[in-house]
Structure 1
Amino acid sequence: MTDKKEEKEQIGLKDAVSIGIGGMVGGGIFAVLGLSVELAKGGVPISFLVAGCIALMTAYSYAKLSVAYPDEGGTVRFIYEGFGYSVLSGGLNNMLWVSYIIMLSLYSSAFGAYASGMFDITGDHIVDKHIFISAIILFSTFINYYSIKVVGEVESFAVIIKLIILLAFVAAGFWGITENPNFIQLSPENWESPVQLIAGGMVIFVAYEGFELIANSAPDIKHPMKNTPKAYYYSVIFVILLYIAIAVVTVGSLDFADIGKAQDYALAEAAKPKFGQIGFTIISIAAMISTFSAINATLLGGSRTNYEVALYHELPEEFTKQLWGKPLGLLIISIFTLVIANTIDLESISTSGSAGFLVIFGIVNFIAFKKRKTIFANKSITIIGFICCILAFIILTIQQIQENATGIIIAFSIFGTCFLGEWLYKKHLKKKIDHQ
């Protein structure tokens, strides 16, 4: 009886792939599509391809590490396996925790943009997007405290709805797209420089980061040696193709100037030429459902991450305490998200998030390279993945310093604070132990 029960509770390949797709096709594509077009112009499909290739190489490292070290901590566990209990591992795990907050801010900002855009079509410009941003963060926090089961149900519903709508958008968008006068925008003469295309891909890299959620589910995946790698590869490849298709339809349907005007809700605006106002409304609703589910799932994942990091004494022990039956870290994350989402612009948030995950993913690739004999990983793929992440981070930094220094300043401030805070906390713990 026990064996059958455990068999039923395991996650199959289909469910594991859904976790990866659901994590990636969350709020990212709705939030950063307009920004990516602004940076790469007609070459935006190339930008998504470049970012996707880096994500795919990193997914290889994650797959190998997930099979060798299946743990609910996912990335947290991999970092400890690579560097042990140290200031370096603590600082990196703190960066991961803060990156969750950045992602929450991105999703919340996107929700606010699409929600306020819905009011604009009625001629009511009074409702500010920050009202929606704050409301959705508070509401999602309430749901997480109320019931984890509800969070799971919201996520399951949202994954189905957003994929149906996005696939319908792509299918309808390709129908007769070559006859649209804006289709010429996709020609190479309308692409930005290669460096700008790469930079554009790195700014929007946050749209791919969600595949790492598979690592947190690795202990429960049925036939892990076979299904865990497949879950990573299938989900990442599917999303790469989906994003490229969305980028082609958007640029081929809508003038650059119109995309720029509606940068924060570009995907909804791109539905207008084919479907009119109804299309705008449907995509806006899909974006709101999608970002809402992403906020719920990320709040849950972020609170669990800081709880686990605190158990290893990398964060203050207050993060392990409970409030209304849930980790106190959930409330702390929500407060930080409220502040960031309401004070920092979307591009800076996206840049900070992409920079953070490029560093984290670069480190994971390095750990896979370092542990390659133990985890039976290919030396070339892991080291190329590491080099690509670091080069992409450098290109992103240089490009953003020239055009949007705020995002890079925020990113480096976060890096410095995470490591300085960890060093001071470790020093405090040592003194505390010495006095006992």
Structure 2
Amino acid sequence: MSGEFGLTEAVSIALGGMIGGGIYAVLGVVAQISMYATWFGFVAAGMVAICAGYSYAVLNRVGDQRGGSVSFVQEFVGNSTLAGMVGWSLLFGYVGSIAMYAFAFAEFALGFEGVPDGVGGVPLRPVVSVLAVALFVGLNVAGAQTTGAAENVLVAAKVGILVAFGVWGLAYLGPVSAQSVQFGVGQLTGVTPVVAAAISFVAFQGWQLLFYDQERIENPTGTIRQAVYISIPVAVGIYVLVALVTTNLAPEAIQQRPHVALADAASAMLGYFGLGSLGFLVVSVSALFSTGSAINATLFSAGHFAKKLVSGDLLPDQIADADADGVPTKAVLVLGGMTAAFTAWGSLGAITSFASLSFIVVFGATSLLAFRERDREAINPLPPLVGVVGGFAFAPVMLWNLYDREPETFWMVLVIGAFVVSAELLYFERGTLDTHVPDGVEGLR
């Protein structure tokens, strides 16, 4: 099978989905919890993510259907209700991810010197976040999208900036400043590292987008597998590097301004040369660009994913037009509206936790599916088992963290979850319900 994208483009898409805005949005939230041990949270989350990636890859290889977790559930379980619930969970995860990127976009936009936090007593952060979502909804409706070649360049630039930040940061901490690097080894006991890993899990969700666009990838089964195995370890390495530098150079900023701590760390190390303002500017502009492109790409992918769900009768056709050419306008508008509301009223910690929880559930479920198929040829049961254990460990820890730190958010998540599950069951079991509706009631409908 021939396609327009090879391994290089596939790795770029996967890395762009993970690194695009994840590190800028997640780092401060995770560092407030685990501080110097933040790097370990990314390592643990990355290990579970690559095991989930293995599960996706083997199911994609042994199955007859292509298309990710929803298709896998349909084929290997044969239950459209479960498949639809997985699809809905993914959509909510995408909404949470876009809201997270929009929140971070606004924080960096308002972090520049001279930019006010509010006007007339009205905080500007929610306003800027909503405007960012509206901008990229408009661009998607207008049909703007990134080509494979452009994606290679954009991802190379984003990765290059972060690697340069990390390498120079470690050099600054050692030979230049003579400051010892703290790894937070004493914090690696107890539940804190697991909490950090669970919250940071959303930063590893971009790779699975490859499974929804296989018709454009050359030799998709093999290429996607290689891209997953390359992109996730590279993302882990970059996250660990950036986390070590930021927590060691800007510990005060993490407590006071966690959302822009990475820019403060860049300012600290370039301040040695009298270029502190330049360091803050470069990282902040990079963050704006990265979070903006992440909003655009995730909205684009989520819109097309919604269209596929509608075409499979797994989502109401009021959400998207299954026959639409190109970007499904209705889906993008609906997802954009939900995202705008979420990013306007939620905190970054709550939004990040909500998005991570959605992907933890889906990745854990897909790993469980692969573990069930372990008797098939060339399926190693260990990686799926790690994915299952990680998912089942992360989910309750995430909920406990929300209950302990943000009880209002915890109850909000439970209410939203109960509402979504109820709506899913009403939609997917509507045929069964119809057969049990009394004739007199049926006549009143």
1:384 partnered with 2:393: no
Question: Which shifted more, 150-159 or 107-116?
Answer: 150-159
With over 3 angstroms needed to count, the CA separation of the structure-2 counterparts of 1:28 and 1:160, relative to structure 1, is same
Greater per-residue helix proportion: 1
Q: Tell me the matched-pair count.
A: 426
Aligned to 2:423: 421
Cα distance 1:431–1:385, how it changes in 2: closer, same or farther (>3 A)?
closer
Matched with 1:218 is: 214
- 1:71-93 Cα distance to aligned partner (Å, 9 max, x none): 66323212322332432222221
Which residue type is aligned with residue 39 of structure 2? P
**Conservation of the 8 A alpha-carbon contact between 2:73 and 2:79:** no
Task: Note if 1:299 corresponds to 2:293.
Answer: no
CA RMSD of aligned residues (A): 2.6
Matched, 1:258 2:260: no
Which residue in 2 is equivalent to 1:114? 108
| Normalised TM-score (structure 1) | 0.90
2:73 matches 1:76: no
Structure 1 unaligned residues grouped into runs of 5+: 1-5
**How much does 1:117 deviate?**
0.8
Structure 2 residue 24 is matched with structure 1 residue 27:
no
1:176 aligns with 2:172: yes
- How far apart, CA to CA, are the structure 2 residues paired with 1:82 and 1:61? 13
Asked if the contact 1:95–1:415 (Cα under 8 Å) also holds between the matched residues in 2, the reply is no
Equivalent residues of 2:299, 2:332 under 8 A apart: yes
Contact 1:66 1:228 in 2 (8 A): no
Does the C-alpha gap of structure 1 residues 66 and 323 become closer, same or farther in structure 2, counting only changes over 3 Å? closer
**1:185, 1:431 → 2: CA distance?**
59
Contact 1:71 1:215 (8 Å CA) reproduced: no
Q: Tell me the secondary structure at the aligned position of residue 114 of structure 2.
A: coil
1: CA distance between counterparts of 2:144 and 2:114?
Answer: 36
Contact 1:352–1:408 under 8 Å retained in 2: no
Partner of residue 160, structure 2: 164
Change (3 A) 1:411 1:111: same
Q: Deviations over 1:183-231 (max 9, x none)?
A: 4543434x36431011011111111111111212334433345433211
Q: Is the 8 A contact 1:36 1:200 kept in 2?
A: yes
2:314 alignment partner in structure 1: 314
1:278 aligns with 2:278: yes
Give the letter aligned to residue 131 of structure 1.
V
Aligned to 1:345: 347
Percent identical residues: 26
CA pair 356-123 structure 1, distance change in 2 beyond 3 A: closer
Matched, 1:268 2:268: no
Equivalents in 1 of 2:202, 2:388: separation in Å? Answer: 17
Q: Report the AA paired with residue 101 of structure 2.
A: Y
- Name structure 2 gaps, 5 residues minimum: 271-275
Q: CA deviation at 1:69?
A: 4.4
The alpha-carbon deviation at position 371 of structure 1 amounts to 2.6
- Measure how far apart 1:325 and its partner are: 6.8
Describe the SS at the equivalent of 2:290: helix
CA deviation after TM superposition for structure 1 residue 330, in Å? 1.0
Give the whole-Å Cα distance in 2 for the aligned partners of 1:169 and 1:72: 38
Distance 2:180 2:127 in 1: 37
**1:242 positional shift:** 0.7
Q: Answer whether contact 2:39 2:243 (CA < 8 A) is retained.
A: yes
Q: Who is 2:8 aligned against?
A: 14
Deviation at 1:150, TM superposition (A): 5.1
Contact kept, 8 Å, 2:71 with 2:83, in 1: the verdict is no
- Structure 2 matches for 1:26-175, cutoff 5 A? 26-69=20-63, 73-118=67-112, 121-122=113-114, 124-126=116-118, 128-149=124-145, 155=151, 157-175=153-171
- The alpha-carbon distance between structure 1 residues 297 and 222, as it changes in their structure 2 partners (threshold 3 A), is same
User: In the aligned structure 1, how far is the partner of 2:258 from the partner of 2:141?
Assistant: 33
Choose from 391, 397, 400 the match for 1:398: 400
> Cα gap change, 1:234/1:70 in structure 2, threshold over 3 Å: closer, same or farther?
farther
Give the CA deviation at 1:99.
1.0
Aligned to 2:241: 245
Q: Which residue of 2 aligns with 1:364?
A: 366
Aligned residue in 1 for 2:183: 186
Q: Is the 8 A contact 1:105 1:337 kept in 2?
A: yes
Is the Cα contact below 8 Å between 1:102 and 1:337 reproduced in 2? yes
Instruction: Name the SS of the counterpart of 1:43 in structure 2.
Output: helix
What are the superposed Cα offsets for residues 105-156 of structure 1, whole Å, 9 maximum, x if unpaired? 10111101111112xx126444612222111111101110111445878755
Quick one: which amino acid aligns to residue 54 of structure 2? Y
How far apart in 1 are the matches of 2:351 and 2:216? 33
Alignment TM-score, normalising by the size of structure 2: 0.88
Q: 1:426: Cα distance to partner?
A: 2.9
| Separation of aligned partners in 2, 1:410 and 1:156 | 39
Structure 1 residues 133 and 151: alpha-carbon distance in aligned structure 2, compared to 1, 3 A threshold: farther
Structure 1 CA distance for aligned equivalents of residues 340 and 115 of structure 2 = 27
Cα distance change, pair 84–286 in 1 and its aligned pair in 2 (3 A): same
